[in-house]
Structure 1
Amino acid sequence: MTAKVTFNSDRCKGCELCTTVCPKHIVAIDQAVINRKGYHPAHVTDISQCIACASCAKICPDSIITVEKF
């Protein structure tokens, strides 16, 4: 299965909730990037390891994560 995870990085407030629920531990806060709001947004570190469980999208309070399965 192939997965695509999209983050609306400009709306991410870096709350880190998504990083706590990923069973593969591949969602992290990007310390090298600062978005328009002044936060470090979340991102996937290794998409090839993603199982498309959508736990990150479900827990996101601002609905900025989209997970697609192929």
Structure 2
Amino acid sequence: MAKNKGAVVVNIERCKGCHLCEEACPSDVLEMNQQTNAMGYHYAYMANAEMCTGCASCAYVCPDACITVYRVKS
């Protein structure tokens, strides 16, 4: 059976660093970056990319719809 791999793309200029995606991720893939965007917010990024399954839990909870999840069979 093929295992799903995922990739999370965050629109860093729209992200306001609310941490909801980080809490919703069952695989602990996302973390807040130490750098800030133009508005001064720490934005989400894939800290553990190899663990992502593409479940899209992060995208479902994002209040600003700034997360896109891609799923690929590997």
Amino acid at match of 2:52: C
Unaligned runs of 5+ in 1: none
1:51 has 2:66 as partner: no
In structure 2, the residue matched to 1:7 is 10
TM-score by length of 2: 0.88
Q: Is the 2:10–2:44 contact (alpha carbons within 8 Å) kept by the matching residues of 1?
A: yes
Shift of 1:23: 0.5
Distance 2:7 2:27 in 1: 15
Residues 6-51 of structure 1 deviation map (CA, whole Å, 9 limit, x = unaligned): 00001100000001010011111112x1101110001110211101
Poorly superposed stretches of 4+, deviation over 6 Å = none
Distance 2:6 2:26 in 1: 15
**CA-atom RMSD, angstroms?**
0.8
Distance 1:52 1:24 in 2: 10
TM-score (norm 1): 0.92
Counterpart pick for 1:60 among 59, 62, 67? 62
Which structure carries more strand by proportion? 2
Task: Count the aligned residue pairs.
Answer: 69
Of 11, 29, 32, 2:32 maps to 29
Question: Secondary structure of 2:42's partner?
Answer: coil
Distance apart, 1:2 and its partner CA: 2.7
CA distance in 2, matches of 1:15, 1:34: 13
1:38 aligns with 2:11: no
